[in-house]
Structure 1
Amino acid sequence: MPGGGSLAGGGSSLFTGFRVLGLYSNHVPHALRFHQKHREFYLVTAVGKCLHTYNVNRLGIVAVSNSLPDDITYVAADRMLVFAAAGKVVSAFARNKEVVMRYEGHKCEVRLLLPLGDHLISADCGGEVIVWDAQGGDEYLHLQFDPNTFDVTAMMHPSTYLNKILLGSSQGALQLWNIKTSKLLYTFPGWSAGVTVLQQSPAVDVVGVGTATGRIIIHNIRMDETLMSFTQDWGPITSLAFRTDGPPIIASGSPQGHIAFWNLENRQLVAQQRHAHSTAVAAATFLQGEPLMVTNGADNTIKVWIFDQEGGGARLLRSRHGHSAPPTTINHHGNDGKNILSAGQDGTLQSFSTVHERFNKNLGHGSINKKKEKKKKKGLTYNALRLPAITSFSSATTRQSDWDSIVTCHRGRLAASTWNYQRCTMGAHHLLPPSSRRDTVAMAVAITSCGNFTVIGSSCGRVDVYNLQSGLHRGCYGDDEKAHSGVVRGVATDTLNQLTITAGSDTLLKFWRFKTKKQEVELKLNAAPANMMLHRDSGMLALALDDFTLQVFDIETRRLVRKFAGHHGNINGMTFSPDGRWLITVAMDCTIRTWDLPSGCLVDCFLVAMAPVGVSMSPTGDFLATAHVDSLGLYLWTNKSLCGPVGLRPLPADYQPVEETLPGVTADEQEQEVTSEETDDTYKSADQLGAELVTLSLLPESRWKSLLHLDIIKKRNKPAAPPVAPTAAPFFLPTIPGLTPQFTLASADEQETQSKVLSWGSMSQKTKFATALETAMDSGSFDHPLQLLKDCGPSAVSMELSGLAAEGSDSSLFMAFILMIDSMLSSGRDFDLAHGYLALFLKLHLRSLSQDPIAMETLHCLSTRLEAGWAELRASFDQSLCLLSYTKSALL
């Protein structure tokens, strides 16, 4: 497009951020608080820059906080507030959402927080410990430690120790401080290992100490005496928790995700929960007086465990979990748009609900051999039998009640796996071709619309067909069992199972008969395709090529119909809108672009902070889902075109997109962005589009359609009982002339000079409409009297037009009204009102008009204009109806 410099965009005109799915926890330890009024425990976890609050009894999310400028590094809570450290600033949240106080004063990143009464204690990685007034935000005490001799790594308040805090260091020593007097009370030499955790036990003076070497020390700080110690074989202690509902149990977490339970009376290990988390256990907390324990970890999981097993073991009661590694492939499952299937680098296949989190499903990890995994034969490790990460998948809901409805391809594996969505398990079949090389890998997969077959393309060029019910091989495409001479990059089938389309790295696009496996057409591409997407309803096939261009083919005519260029990186995903009008693509250049297929133009483009790797449009068109690099969540974007008019314009070639914030920001920021975008992009229609067209008014039909039937309407609405006379008003109260009686008060001077005898001229007062008509007759502009009529109801319009004959014997008002109708017809605006007003005018004054030759001549000219205008409209109507009839007959 010609132009000088690059044009800057104004964000997305089609999509706005809505929310993020699948984010529950990270490496930051959670905070647990008890609400006195609700009598319920609440769990607070950090997710990036926000805090999520869940109720423990259902693990339902109850609040999402406003976002902070930096990622949250530590969370703590007291009875009233929730404190979050982000960078060098500590923020206090009220009602789990709003920031009510900021504590600024640290020079390094804050890594520890401890609420203590009316104070908040914070420690940073530079050795600085500050005691804050929690309500006022002022510094109460400032302590400075040398990180080389005493690096603060743990902090706690011993029970019943007034104004005392216990600090642990990476050097192994512990110090007990009085924060009121700013004095060091005692120094504990330690156990020659760095302190990672300090935890108060149910017994006074007894503290649990976790070390970096895996030792757990139960120490009496009043006597400075070690009561007992345990050693964990899984590395450093990441968390400690004491059980308070009876049995003397302490739980310790490890970096491998295991949890050990130690009996303090017998001084032995009583149970262990292996693989409680797939990453390090960030925190473990027992609920006060209940046999429940809450844990969270960096694997994006929150779990609640209940201790009702024999021997003191725990079982999982409820959980919330997302992907522990970034998702790579996403797709909507079903036609209602409520569930999104997601495959991640962690090897799991999960389903996220856009309605409520309780409908989420985790289909789990795939297994090479279920029986071997259960028996753990031949010394196989826990992860040895797991399938690698899913690279591509296809799903269908047609026969999901009868057999497996999901087929997946895995990294480095030839066999494709089946999954059952309803049972949330891996399926019964591993789809393997009869003969192939060992280094062959399954690359692309598609399930037919009937749900009976699946087509799988491999890296050696094979394209095989399998029956999903039995898992049997039903043939392959190509004469020598090879459909392509290179890697198969995409496969698809049409709605009626008549065509199979394949694309390979040999830059060929081939069309095959589904049943006979015979090739029909072969098309040469400009470059090797990266991926392929078919919109079955419209027959549009989109191909993303390695040269960052897009090509769209019509599978009916087998011809290239659109070609798009604009991305500056690998195109990672594509999706069609439900009506097939838009093609939405995401690429490594961090842009999300929307292409309009009918016009062949780019109509929307915006940047995101992280490169998107997957995209899927809801079958209902309400949400766009995206997955991004290094992000564990699925981001939903609202389609603004469903909520109101959106002005879409073709974007120029040098368009510079603006970055959009990923969903999850505060609602206020979103509303401001939407308001500014709508103001810039709203299309304003012209008053009149053309001389041959007419424009209708925006008034309801009742304002002009019932003008000729007012007498019938009044007769029907006649009351059964006579109306009650209102209270008589003062006789000499002056009024303002018009249809609506309005009283006016004369000034004191006017009351003295005003005569009580009315003059003859005051008896013949004109209405506002009649006065406006006379003024418009002189000026030639009839906008003001027309607006007065628009503001009136049908009865008021009838009264105004009836009053035109009572203003005098001359016909000036008649002529003015006829000229007003003539101006309305000549401009083409308010076409319906002009005919309604003219019909009522003729009905009321036709007898008087017939005796006035000047008025009759004017009406004759008006009639000629009416006939000419209607002839043009009727010709347009006839042409449109003829074209519509032809189109309907061609479709039938």
Structure 2
Amino acid sequence: MWIFDTTDGDARLLRFRSGHSAPPLCIRMLEVSNFDRFYGNGRYILSAGQDRAFRLFSIIQEQQSRELSQRHVTKRAKKLRTREEEIKLKPVITFDFAEIRERDWCNVVTCHMDTPQAYVWRLQNFVIGEHILSPSADIQTPIKAYSLKRACAISACGNFAILGTNGGWIERFNLQSGISRGTYVDISESRQYAHDGEVVGIACDATNSSMISAGYNGDIKVNNVKKLYLLCSIGLLATVAEDMVIRLYDVVALRMVRKFEGHNDRITDLCFSDDGKWLLSSSMDGTLRVWDVILAKQIDAISVGIPITALSLSPLMDVLVTSHVDQNGIYLWVNQAMFSGVSKMDSYALGSQVRSVEMPTVASNGGANKEETLSAENVDAIHNAYTIPQLDKQMPNLITLSLLPRSQWQSLTNLDIIKVRNKPIEPPKKPEKAPFFLPSVPTLSGQILFEPNSEGTAGKDKENMKNKKGMPLSSHFILLLNSCAETKNFSAFTDYIKGLSPSDLDLELRILQIVDEDNLEKLDQRQPELQSIGILLDYLIHELSSRNNFELIQAVIKLFLKIHGETLRHHSLLQEKAKRLLEVQSTVWQRIDKMFQSARCMVTFLSNSQF
């Protein structure tokens, strides 16, 4: 974006977006830092590409992505009349990052292609550092790094950078001053060097007590095959050799603890998850595999088509970034196990099973329009492919609560006590003298309309009640109960009673009550009420059997028996359903009570134990 705000009318560069113009060589997601505005819990990516650029990418805001400065590259290129790429340092082949001393001095060290020196960077200021780490004169050979990197490392304390070279020497430098602090020597070798051959990997443990290095000839020295990656927090060392087998070593016990086989071509990169449970590996066969370190088996394998050259998993384990052969972009992958809400561990590929995943493509405007005009069938197919299977919310041998407020279902069991407590102590008293003005009702026409006599209306209400006596029941409560009984699906009825207040639910149950106590022997003549009571018993049996809304159903059963207990006692069909309800109630409660007793025994045992 250019802006024309100069006095002579020339354009000035205002904002721009840029990325790698050549495929990246190595990438790494930054870990949790004290400066969240810089690193933000793994939301930033450090990337080094073949275009000689060292970049910091933000996966949240593209405006925060930038290239780390190599000090006046544009000015020097204009002065020498050459391209900026020729002024920059050679491509970075490996780098390491530490966050512990980022406020004090440089916290990134990079090794460059065919260059004996290493360079330091101050990530807080996004600029190259003032020191150049130059090995001693007698050991100046280019620093070696294979596709699995780690020919340089920063100590856990953040004070030292350790470099390995083609000649087999390993030298330590102080990051604050850039001065050499000695070399590592293996006295068992004929010459005074660390390895008899090229150094291909270096790593430091979390306590600074040991430094592990790997040589090209296959030896691991000082508590260390050809390539390696160290997870400092748990002391596991993952190594890869030319036999395409991943081996895990315990740094403390100094022995191999795991062995993973499955790749069919050269392994390009390894990455541990932050908790140390997963190990991710990529290979030139185009596959990305996820290994479970604890279970010692593969839990996922995908084929992306284009081989992965580098990968890095965020500290939160939610995003994976990868770079690919002949691809300038950095690809982000989402961990479905964290965002789907349903664990798919059982559906992960095992052994030689590999899932094929298409790489996303960057399309032009025309291609984008074509993608937007998808048919309804394609949309449904895509939706079905990514639809998460709905699992049953009911766990076996357990109950499910209604999650209603406790006061709502407790009020059902104590409704009589609440009514007595809310009953007024004294009836309202009439005024001693009649009001001077007669009560009237305001009207829109302005005519005076007197209120009707309350005694007359009360008499009419009694007459209406007498006329309505014996009419069939037709409340929404009963209609919904009957419709759900026909479909044998009571979910709608359950949702309805959940929305009723305790007083409303009590009223709906009392509507079904048969109050003519003198004619209890003639219950067969009250078919509508008996039929509704029987359906309500079927509903309670169904809900108890499914063990859903357990505490609400218990409160409804108590209120139901209190109101309709006498009716159940005098009708044989209702007695059979009541016995069935008792059997289901006993079976469900015995199972729950057994679990309660087991929990009580365990708590009692642990409480009396002497630790």
Asked if these proteins are the same fold (TM beyond 0.5), I'd say: yes
Q: Give per-residue Cα distances to partners, 1:442-482, cap 9 Å, x unaligned.
A: 43122234322223333344443332112233344453364
- Residue 487 (structure 1) shift: 3.2
**1:496 matched to 2:201:** no
User: What is the deviation of 1:711?
Assistant: 7.2
Quote how far apart the aligned CAs of 1:391 are: 0.8
- Structure having the higher strand fraction is 1
User: Relative to structure 1, is the Cα distance of residues 497 and 805 closer, same or farther in structure 2, using a 3 angstrom cutoff?
Assistant: farther
Q: Structure 1 unaligned runs (5+)?
A: 1-54, 59-244, 248-289, 294-303, 305-316, 511-518, 523-527, 719-724, 726-756
Q: In the aligned structure 1, how far is the partner of 2:550 from the partner of 2:254?
A: 48
Residues 868 and 621 of structure 1, relative CA distance in 2, 3 Å threshold: same
Higher helix share: 2
Determine if contact 1:774/1:813 at 8 Å carries over to the other structure. no
Aligned pair 1:428/2:150, yes or no? Answer: no
Equivalent position amino acid for 1:675 in 2: H
Question: What is residue 469 of structure 1 aligned with on the other side?
Answer: 176
Q: Which residue of 2 aligns with 1:413?
A: 115
1:90-239 equivalences under 5 Å are: none
Residue 131 of structure 2 aligns with an amino acid whose one-letter code is: H
Distance 1:467 1:616, change over 3 A: same
Partner of 1:834: 553
Aligned: 1:645 with 2:341: yes
Q: CA deviation at 1:550?
A: 2.6
Alpha-carbon distance between aligned partners in 1 of 2:104 and 2:508, rounded to the nearest angstrom: 73
| CA–CA distance in structure 2, aligned partners of residues 468 and 455 of structure 1 | 10
CA contact (8 A) 2:545 2:588 kept: no
Distance 1:879 1:489 in 2: 58
Alignment of 1:30-109 (within 5 A): 55-57=1-3
In the TM superposition, residue 549 of structure 1 has moved relative to its aligned partner by: 2.9
**Cα offsets for 1:304-337 (capped at 9, x unmatched):** 3xxxxxxxxxxxx765443232211111234222
Specify the SS of the correspondent of 2:176.
Answer: coil
Task: Check conservation: 1:540, 1:552, Cα contact below 8 A.
Answer: yes
Amino acid at match of 2:383: T
Q: Distance in 1 between matches of 2:279 and 2:421?
A: 57
The corresponding residue for 1:64 is none
Aligned letter for 1:684? Q
Structure 1 counterpart of 2:391, from 681, 685, 694 = 685
Is residue 54 of structure 2 the alignment partner of residue 349 of structure 1?
yes
Residue 361 of structure 1 is matched in structure 2 by 66
Q: Which residue does the alignment assign to 1:696?
A: 400
SS at match of 2:68: strand
SS in 2 for 1:762: coil
Q: Distance in 2 between matches of 1:884 and 1:454?
A: 50
Cα drift, residue 643 of structure 1: 3.4
Deviation at 1:384, TM superposition (A): 8.1
Q: Would you say the 8 A contact 2:300–2:350 is kept in 1?
A: no
**Alpha-carbon distance in 2 for matches of 1:883, 1:568:** 53
**For 2:492 and 2:255, how far apart are their aligned partners in 1?**
56
Structure-1 residue corresponding to 2:310: 614
- Give the Cα separation in 2 of the matches to 1:774 and 1:766: 12
Aligned equivalents of 2:416, 2:595: Cα separation in 1: 31
CA pair 351-694 structure 1, distance change in 2 beyond 3 A: same
Corresponding position of 1:77: none
The 5-angstrom pairing of residues 597-612 of structure 1 reads: 597-612=293-308
**For residue 507 of structure 1, what is the aligned residue in structure 2?**
218
Stretch of structure 1 that moved more, 541-550 or 339-348: 541-550
1:308-457 correspondence runs (5 A): 319-335=16-32, 336=40, 337-364=42-69, 387-434=89-136, 436-443=138-145, 444-457=151-164
Checking the alignment, whether the CA contact within 8 Å between 1:416 and 1:442 is kept in structure 2 is no
| 8 A Cα contact 2:122 2:128, kept in partner | yes
AA in 1 matched with 2:513:
A
Q: Is the 8 A contact 1:390 1:410 kept in 2?
A: yes
Looking at structure 2, the residues matched to 548 and 672 of structure 1 have their Cα atoms a distance apart, in angstroms, of 41
1:762 aligns with 2:471: yes
1:222 corresponds in structure 2 to: none
1:806 and 2:514 equivalent? Answer: yes
Partner of 2:353: 655
Q: Is the 8 A contact 1:326 1:630 kept in 2?
A: yes
Rate the CA distance shift 1:383–1:590 in 2: closer, same or farther, 3 A.
Answer: closer
Q: Is the contact between residue 770 and residue 804 of structure 1 (CA under 8 Å) also seen in structure 2?
A: no
1:865 Cα deviation from its structure 2 partner: 3.1
Distance across 1 between alignment mates of 2:492 and 2:108: 64
TM-fit CA distance, 1:660 = 1.6
TM-score normalized by structure 2?
0.69
> Structure 2: where are the runs of 5+ without partners?
33-39, 146-150, 424-440, 442-465, 524-529
Q: Show CA shifts across 1:114-158 (max 9, x none).
A: xxxxxxxxxxxxxxxxxxxxxxxxxxxxxxxxxxxxxxxxxxxxx
Post-superposition Cα deviations, 1:203-232, rounded to whole Å, max 9, x if no partner, equal xxxxxxxxxxxxxxxxxxxxxxxxxxxxxx
Instruction: Quickly say closer, same or farther: Cα 1:571–1:782, change in 2 above 3 A.
Output: same
The CA deviation at 1:630 is 1.9
2:306 counterpart SS class = coil
Q: SS at 2:207's partner residue?
A: coil
Q: Is this contact kept in 2: 1:366–1:426, CA < 8 A? A: yes
Cα deviation for residue 499 of structure 1 reads 4.0
Query: Any conservation in 1 of the 2:186–2:195 contact (CA below 8 Å)?
Result: no
**Separation of aligned partners in 2, 1:714 and 1:507:** 85
- Tell me how far 1:403 sits from its aligned partner: 0.7
Q: Which residue of 2 aligns with 1:279?
A: none
Closer/same/farther in 2, CA of residues 339 and 412 from structure 1, 3 Å limit: same
Q: Which moved more, 1:694-703 or 1:666-675?
A: 666-675
Equivalent in the alignment of 1:872: 594
Which among 475, 494, 502 is matched to residue 789 of structure 1? 494
C-alpha deviation, 1:352, in angstroms: 1.9
Which of 250, 256, 262 in structure 2 is aligned with 1:566? 262
SS at 2:171 equivalent? strand
Partners of 2:534 and 2:512 in 1: CA distance? 10
Q: Does the alignment pair 1:592 with 2:288? A: yes
With over 3 angstroms needed to count, the CA separation of the structure-2 counterparts of 1:607 and 1:805, relative to structure 1, is same
User: Counterpart of 1:806 in 2: which secondary structure?
Assistant: coil
Change (3 A) 1:505 1:787: same
Which amino acid is 1:415 matched to?
Q
* Identical amino acids, percent of aligned pairs: 29
Deviations 1:782-833 (A, max 9, x none): 9545652343224354344444433884688777756654554455444344
Distance 2:301 2:422 in 1: 58
Counterpart-to-counterpart distance in 2, 1:882 and 1:455: 56
TM-score by length of 1: 0.49
